Structure 1
Amino acid sequence: MILPISSQLANVIGFAGTACIVFAYAYITGRERPNPFVQHGVNLLGACLLTISLLVNLNPASLVLEGFWAAIAIWGLVKAVRDRSSGTRARQN
């Protein structure tokens, strides 16, 4: 155990993270034009919550997966910010 929380609380946090990731997947599947901030933000939240759970109930392979999941979500958020900024500049010109 790396974090000082109970295994039961870690499991609840992990299930919340799982719910976030499933929601984000359903969101992008069900929307014609999903908002990338919702999609990637919820994915990042899910990855963070699952990481907390995995730091208590250690599973190295899943921990690595969540690291990649979080990195991809951050990449998506950065891309969304850049796209929004370039769209704003294009409308101003």
Structure 2
Amino acid sequence: MLWILDPRAHFPEQKDGDLVEDGVCVGFITEKAGLSQPTVSSHMKKLADAGLVTGKKFGNWMFYKPDRSRLQAIGSSLAEAARIEPVKRTVS
């Protein structure tokens, strides 16, 4: 996630698609992660299914970028949850 949140710092420019606007090619993610393409594709699909990234197909390749509004909403919810005092329970 950190790599695709700041793709220009972590990936070279792509032939197809803009790193920020269109997302990072799964081939670049595969190369950087040192994993197989099916493994990376499977993980990225899970992130997409969870709403953390969006995918876009260019030719034979998928490009992924973070869903920043969804990530921000999750971050806000977590920050709010961290501020709430837990209910103290007494042990009987």
Fold match by TM threshold 0.5: no
TM-score (norm 2): 0.39
TM-score (norm 1): 0.39
Q: Which has the larger radius of gyration?
A: 2
Higher normalized helix content (fraction of residues)? 1
